[in-house]
Structure 1
Amino acid sequence: MRHEININNHLEIFETNKVAKQAAGAVLMQEKNAVVLATVAREEKMVEEDFLPLTVQYIEKAYAAGRIPGGYVKRETKPGDNETLSARIIDRSLRPLFPKGYAYPTQIVVMVLSADPEVDLQVMSLNAASIALYLSDIPIKAPVCGVRIGRMNNEFVLNPSNSELKNSTLDLYVAGVKDELLMIEMRALANKQNGQHCMNELNEDDVLKALEFAGNAILRGSNEYERVFAAYRKNSKLEFKIETDGGKIVDFIKNSYISKLKIAINQMAKSERASEISQIAKEIENEASAIENEWKIEDIEKALYLCKRELVRSQILNENKRADGRGLKDVRKIDIETNILPNAHGSCLFTRGQTQALVIATLGSDNDAQMSDLLTEKNPICEKFMVNYNFPGFSVGEATPIKAPGRRELGHGNLAKRALHPSIDTDYIHTIRLVSEILESNGSSSMATVCGGALALRAAGVKSEKLVAGVAMGLVFEDEKYAILTDIMGLEDHDGDMDFKVAGSYEGITALQMDIKLGGIEQQVLKEALYQAKEAREHILQLMEEANQNIVVNEAILPKIEIFNVDPNKIPDIIGQGGKTIKEIIEKFEVNIDLDRDKGEVKIAGINHDFISQSKEYILNLVHSKGSNKKRDRKEVPKFDIGEEFIGKVQKVVEFGVFVELRDGVDGLLHNSKFKEKLEIGNEVKVKVAEIKNGKVSLNLA
């Protein structure tokens, strides 16, 4: 059945009961020339464990953009980072909808079958997945609606096209159901204004206005989806796990073990706390009451969890006290050390309480940029700023193997990237890679990555416009009472109702991420959280500014870049036949060279200033000597006679031979095929000129 909906600046066409009819729910959605298939499938048997077994996959098919996958394997294999991040957004938006006690293994799959360069596939895919879920026999109260908000000429724009978003100063992605916001992702988009780099942070009031604008669109969209599809929902006959209050076990714990549990809760580290609670469970298991009533260890552990959660939340709401003794607005103690790694370009060890991030900055050339394919872009995009986040098991006291980064690692790295990117000039000449190694974690390691990353950039000599700091906020809500927590630790994240991360400068917010577990948040509470986060951010920024004043940049190991232009027609002369010439230059002078054929731009990067200057002079001599029908300037390149002999020192050893010093600062190449003995730098060797071509001297042994 075909359904056409004109809503939120888009005409959306849905086909139901047409494809994938054996799935629990399926919908084919089209917007302009983009088509996605969203399906929901579930198992008939519930899992025994107490969690929601939901998996979300977002898959981009190469044929959707008329392409064949690159590489040796000509088919789609593991998902790319963009696919993983898109799947994560869908998961975070839909997960809060599932009813309590739902424990059926469930898979939501979104496949992009046709891509349109102007269509936002993330928003479209979320809405398609939401409708497929709503049509299934899984009882959710209403469909989720996702929208993206841009800002152009100081006006908010609803669901801008991909080309419009490139001219926006804001990228705000919000998902919700009815009047409840469930998931928020925001980033400021830097641009040039009057030739100057501008970060375009948003102040707290503007963020609230943007969220209100998004909320109105979500309400319209969710209501319209419900109106169109409510009649086509499948009847639900599912049974759910009955949540118990722990009964006698909870009463026993409260009467006999509440003091021990309080001590365990107040253990600072997650590993210590888990160990203490596990020990309490074993003690209770050996009690007479447990033996008499045949209490199972898993039931005891569940009851302890219920008591723990109640204790943590009660302390916060009724005593304004947190497990580690802090007040609601207090930030944990912060320690900052910079450039602790002697041979890294820049490094920062950022420690906040029991969360510790070692962030390392590495500067590279254009060749080091990350290339990636997007279905909505004709050509691969080139990313010159990268943030990689690693979370080894030892950071939380677990003996787990180091694996490839998962969704969480990619998501946290992406959040830090979005927070820091606006502070870096869009014309910055180096490619930058930040790597965050989480050495210890007890809450908000992604925000520690932001703080450490901002200082690692400064430690590497990167002139970022402003320092950026991040802080994680929490919310505990019970009946009419609520409490907003600053700088939450892992325990408060787990037992709280909201995870709210805010990053920015003194002037405003550059990135924001929010997930709400309780289903919606009032505007006034959100406003309080934003301004409380601002206070914490300013406190952290003050400490970071002090650390910034003490940074000693190690200029000796930082790469340098020389940029100049030549006639674009001379670029092939620099490359040489089969890349031979440019390879020889790179080997001889220990540099990296990037060439722009269209503009004739030459970028030379390296550590040694002298080698960069020499390679530049070498290239300029090379292109000048290639002037059409012009004789070489004899003053630029000394004259050598064929057969002329020299006793010279080896100046450079390369893969294909050695360079031998002749005279007047000119070296000649003695190829590997011309000698057998091993030659090293400084060895004297007798050579003779064999050939002179394009200003390069080839030698034989004399």
Structure 2
Amino acid sequence: MACTFEFEMNNRKITIETGKVARQANGAVMLRSGKTVLLATAVMDDKPIEEHFLPLTVQYIEKSYAAGKIPGGYVKRETKPGDFETLTSRLIDRSLRPLFPKGFYYPVQITVMLLSVDEEADLQALALDAASAALFLSDIPVDKAVAGVRIGRKEGQFILNPTLDELEEGTLDLFVSGTKEELLMIEMRAIGTVEVEIEPSVAVDPMIDPMLADEIIQIPHVNELKEEELVEAIEMAQKAIALAAGEYEKTLAEGARPKREVELKEEKADASLVAYVEEFYGEDIDRALAGLAKSERGNEIRAIVEQILNDDIAKEQAWSEEAVKAAVGEVKRRKVRSMILDEGRRADGRGLKEVRPISIETNLLPSVHGSCLFTRGETQALVTCTLGSRQDAQMFERITGKSTSYEEFMVHYNFPGFSVGEASRIGPPGRRELGHGNLAKRALEPALDKTQLDAIVRLVSEILESNGSSSMATVCGGSLALKAANVPVLTLIAGVAMGLVTEGDRHAVLTDIMGLEDHDGDMDFKVAGSSEGITALQMDIKLGGISPDLLKEALEQAKEARLHILKIMEESAKAIEVNESILPSTEVFHIDPHKIVDIIGQAGKTIKEIIEKFEVSVDLDRKEGQVKVTGPNKVQVKAACDHIRKIAEGGGAKREMPKFEIDKPIKGRVKKLVDFGAFVELPGGVDGLLHISKISRGRIAHPGDLLHEGEEIEVVVKSQQGHKISLELAKPLD
């Protein structure tokens, strides 16, 4: 039965239709908001998988026709997903996965397709709403609705669900998702930098520079968010989510299909088997925990499972491998959590607030513009920084954009199998790699001083060893790699991963978690920022709701760790030796805008010669007269700049124009044929005109009847007035 539901809340109007399209799916909706239309479907297989995990797949797909476009490139159809589609799919997955009941192992596919788009639409929030509605209305056993809201900030005021213009003009992008009872996921980034105004009495001594005495000095400053401000914004989002999710559940309930009866696999381990493992293999598990403190791989745990399966009691009781794995996992989990809550220590011997030992080495790669090897415990990232010119920017198209956009700061994260001791092939980046790289980019970008930065910047993080928080190692190493490449940054940025363990009324916040604590803990959140505040945050809450007081405690503990890491990084930054000899150089200067044409030359000849001769790239602004020269060698860049200035001062090539003897035969090369004659390149690189009437004694229709471009001919100069040179053939061609 077709149903239509209308909602108006949190500054957004939404219409949801179900039972009209895609009726063979378990659940399907058509969501409309303004001109935006999304189709979301949810499909479940009839049989569960054998393994103990939820095989949930989420795909968010943008159709070019939604914006009245035909896909660019050679293939005129949608191919692999773009980064925005992948990151949106990941965001939906992280928000919906906690809704499924424990022991549910049926393959589920959620697909969200963008069919029509409004330029001002928040596609991530709408896509999550559509996916949640399709799941809630389906017969898949999920009985909660999820809502997502975005919080912006402009002129110190938080904005609920801002428009895209309000978001980009503001200083904050905070996305929060959850149910009416609890938060599930948080993502936050600071946007850009602010120009702090300083009175001239503070910034400038008028006696030294009287020209600046009446001016306001603007100094770039990072747009960090204070911990208490972030808590305030999250509380605002939580209220809006509770309202929206509650309204969705109340209104959509009348259109929901009856939930299917499914088999939920028992996750609890057998009590007698757990007692047996604890009694006879407890010490082995203690030793295994020490091993897990050094590696994310569970080789020691797998060895214990094999040992139990081969002992006489296991054979007598006919325990299955699955049951033994569950029992060993439960004992391991209890030991990890008990150690933390009862003894205040962790598997690797650290205290709850202790950061693992850190070592830093910068510019260890001699041919790389900037590099940093950042090691924290058993997590190690080699981050490199490469500087390029404007043509090195990454081109991309947004479905809501009117033209091609350019990404000038890139962070690419790679996670090869050997980093965790696995023998796996290295392939293209997956969702995890894209997500971690995006998080590091969001953390680092606000610290770039873009008023001084003229280069395109690419950071690449190669994870060489991993045991928790490799994305935060990427942030720390990336910040120092920028410094090592002499990129202008306003401050250093550090990141740390935090965890949480709760039992009843007791809880413990963990600093710098490792893989073991991430797996057996109740929350994983990553915080990055400067000494002044937070630039990026990512949080996944496993236990459900989190109180504001607990959130404040976790953020304050993260700040304490961040300041500790920043202190070590600052000491390392002081010792950086920049590879000046290999750094690309950029010089920007201005000339008379009318002289730009002389720099370009006839048909671009002059600028091409400059680029080839000095091995540089040249960007020209005809309106402002700005010249930007970039090259891999400072000496070459300076020589190119001097050459350009000389041309501008001399009115183009006028100063170096060779003088030709009238009526003396000289050799030239036919450069270009036109209807009225031929341009001939003469010695010295200047051009003369051989009129069509001087090519033949008789009349010809076109110079190409007798001449060919590139052909060498003998001519005489009949007259020369500056750049204007008139030629005749030394000998007629017929």
Give the TM-score, by structure 2 length: 0.85
Query: Structure 1 residue 674: deviation in Å?
Result: 10
Aligned to 2:211: none
- Corresponding position: 1:206 with 2:208: no
Q: 1:417 to 1:267 in 2, by over 3 A?
A: same
- Mapped partners of 2:85, 2:99: distance in 1: 22
Q: What are the Cα deviations for residues 375-425 of structure 1, in whole angstroms up to 9, with x where unaligned?
A: 111112211111000000000000100000000000000000000000002
Query: Structure 1 residue 579: deviation in Å?
Result: 5.8
8 Å CA contact 2:292–2:298 kept in 1: the answer is no
Q: What are the Cα deviations for residues 439-458 of structure 1, in whole angstroms up to 9, with x where unaligned?
A: 00000000000001111111
From 292, 300, 303, the counterpart of 2:316: 292
- Corresponding position: 1:145 with 2:147: yes
Q: 1:640 to 1:321 in 2, by over 3 A?
A: farther
Name stretches of at least 5 consecutive residues in structure 1 with no aligned partner: 647-661, 676-688, 697-702
- Corresponding position: 1:561 with 2:586: yes
- Mapped partners of 2:450, 2:561: distance in 1: 28
Aligned to 2:164: 162
From 18, 31, 54, the counterpart of 1:29: 31
- Corresponding position: 1:448 with 2:469: no
Aligned to 1:491: 516
- Corresponding position: 1:230 with 2:253: yes
- Mapped partners of 2:661, 2:81: distance in 1: 60
- Mapped partners of 1:264, 1:578: distance in 2: 72
SS in structure 1 at match of 2:475:
helix
Aligned to 1:218: 241
Query: Structure 1 residue 572: deviation in Å?
Result: 6.7
8 Å CA contact 2:413–2:434 kept in 1: the answer is yes
Aligned to 1:385: 409
- Which shifted more, 107-116 or 349-358? 107-116
- Mapped partners of 1:385, 1:639: distance in 2: 50
Aligned to 1:123: 125
From 78, 85, 89, the counterpart of 2:80: 78
- Mapped partners of 1:129, 1:39: distance in 2: 7
SS in structure 1 at match of 2:298:
helix
Query: Structure 1 residue 549: deviation in Å?
Result: 0.8
Q: State the identity as a percent.
A: 57
- Mapped partners of 2:660, 2:608: distance in 1: 24
Query: Structure 1 residue 295: deviation in Å?
Result: 2.2
- Which shifted more, 63-72 or 306-315? 306-315
8 Å CA contact 1:334–1:352 kept in 2: the answer is yes
Q: 1:490 to 1:603 in 2, by over 3 A?
A: same
Query: Structure 1 residue 303: deviation in Å?
Result: 1.9
Query: Structure 1 residue 477: deviation in Å?
Result: 1.5
Q: 1:16 to 1:667 in 2, by over 3 A?
A: same
Name stretches of at least 5 consecutive residues in structure 2 with no aligned partner: 198-217, 668-682, 688-709, 726-734
- Corresponding position: 1:521 with 2:523: no
- Mapped partners of 1:363, 1:378: distance in 2: 28
Amino acid at match of 1:238: E
- Mapped partners of 1:641, 1:266: distance in 2: 90
- Corresponding position: 1:346 with 2:370: yes
Q: What are the Cα deviations for residues 144-171 of structure 1, in whole angstroms up to 9, with x where unaligned?
A: 1100000111110000001111111111
Correspondence 1:427-506 to 2 at 5 A: 427=451, 428-506=453-531
8 Å CA contact 1:136–1:234 kept in 2: the answer is yes
SS in structure 2 at match of 1:51:
coil
Correspondence 1:570-581 to 2 at 5 A: 581=606
- Mapped partners of 2:296, 2:467: distance in 1: 11
SS in structure 2 at match of 1:329:
coil
SS in structure 2 at match of 1:530:
helix
8 Å CA contact 1:622–1:695 kept in 2: the answer is no
Query: Structure 1 residue 132: deviation in Å?
Result: 0.9
Query: Structure 1 residue 247: deviation in Å?
Result: 3.7
Q: What are the Cα deviations for residues 244-270 of structure 1, in whole angstroms up to 9, with x where unaligned?
A: 323433222111100001110111556
- Mapped partners of 1:502, 1:325: distance in 2: 23
Amino acid at match of 1:253: V
From 285, 293, 302, the counterpart of 2:326: 302
8 Å CA contact 1:316–1:322 kept in 2: the answer is yes
Aligned to 1:64: 66
Q: 1:294 to 1:223 in 2, by over 3 A?
A: same
Query: Structure 1 residue 60: deviation in Å?
Result: 0.8
SS in structure 1 at match of 2:373:
strand
SS in structure 1 at match of 2:241:
helix
8 Å CA contact 2:67–2:400 kept in 1: the answer is yes
- Mapped partners of 1:317, 1:433: distance in 2: 43
Aligned to 2:707: none
- Corresponding position: 1:540 with 2:540: no
Q: 1:640 to 1:161 in 2, by over 3 A?
A: farther
Query: Structure 1 residue 638: deviation in Å?
Result: 5.7
- Mapped partners of 2:462, 2:724: distance in 1: 49
Q: What are the Cα deviations for residues 592-650 of structure 1, in whole angstroms up to 9, with x where unaligned?
A: 223445655432101323322332344455567777xxxx643x55657698999xxxx
From 224, 237, 241, the counterpart of 2:265: 241
Correspondence 1:598-617 to 2 at 5 A: 599-617=624-642
- Mapped partners of 2:603, 2:132: distance in 1: 53
Amino acid at match of 1:125: A
Amino acid at match of 1:501: K
- Mapped partners of 1:301, 1:531: distance in 2: 37
Query: Structure 1 residue 65: deviation in Å?
Result: 1.1
From 13, 16, 41, the counterpart of 1:14: 16
Q: 1:470 to 1:674 in 2, by over 3 A?
A: farther
From 301, 305, 309, the counterpart of 1:281: 305
From 406, 429, 433, the counterpart of 1:409: 433
Aligned to 2:398: 374
Aligned to 1:99: 101
Amino acid at match of 1:90: I
Q: Work out which of the two has the higher radius of gyration on C-alpha atoms and give 1 or 2.
A: 2
From 592, 613, 618, the counterpart of 1:588: 613
Q: 1:549 to 1:61 in 2, by over 3 A?
A: same
8 Å CA contact 1:556–1:607 kept in 2: the answer is no
- Mapped partners of 1:641, 1:366: distance in 2: 45
- Mapped partners of 1:597, 1:269: distance in 2: 61
Q: 1:694 to 1:106 in 2, by over 3 A?
A: farther
- Mapped partners of 1:580, 1:175: distance in 2: 57
8 Å CA contact 1:264–1:273 kept in 2: the answer is no
- Mapped partners of 1:568, 1:67: distance in 2: 37
- Mapped partners of 1:102, 1:139: distance in 2: 9
Aligned to 1:253: 277
Q: 1:524 to 1:162 in 2, by over 3 A?
A: same
Amino acid at match of 1:134: F
Q: 1:455 to 1:668 in 2, by over 3 A?
A: farther
Amino acid at match of 1:310: R
Q: 1:400 to 1:615 in 2, by over 3 A?
A: same
Aligned to 1:550: 575
- Which shifted more, 19-28 or 448-457? 19-28
8 Å CA contact 1:34–1:114 kept in 2: the answer is yes
Q: 1:572 to 1:16 in 2, by over 3 A?
A: farther
- Mapped partners of 2:318, 2:234: distance in 1: 52
Q: 1:481 to 1:291 in 2, by over 3 A?
A: same
SS in structure 1 at match of 2:60:
strand
- Mapped partners of 2:350, 2:169: distance in 1: 44
SS in structure 1 at match of 2:169:
coil
8 Å CA contact 1:622–1:694 kept in 2: the answer is no
Amino acid at match of 2:193: N
Amino acid at match of 1:96: P
- Mapped partners of 2:118, 2:621: distance in 1: 29
- Mapped partners of 2:58, 2:448: distance in 1: 34
SS in structure 1 at match of 2:17:
strand
Query: Structure 1 residue 126: deviation in Å?
Result: 0.8
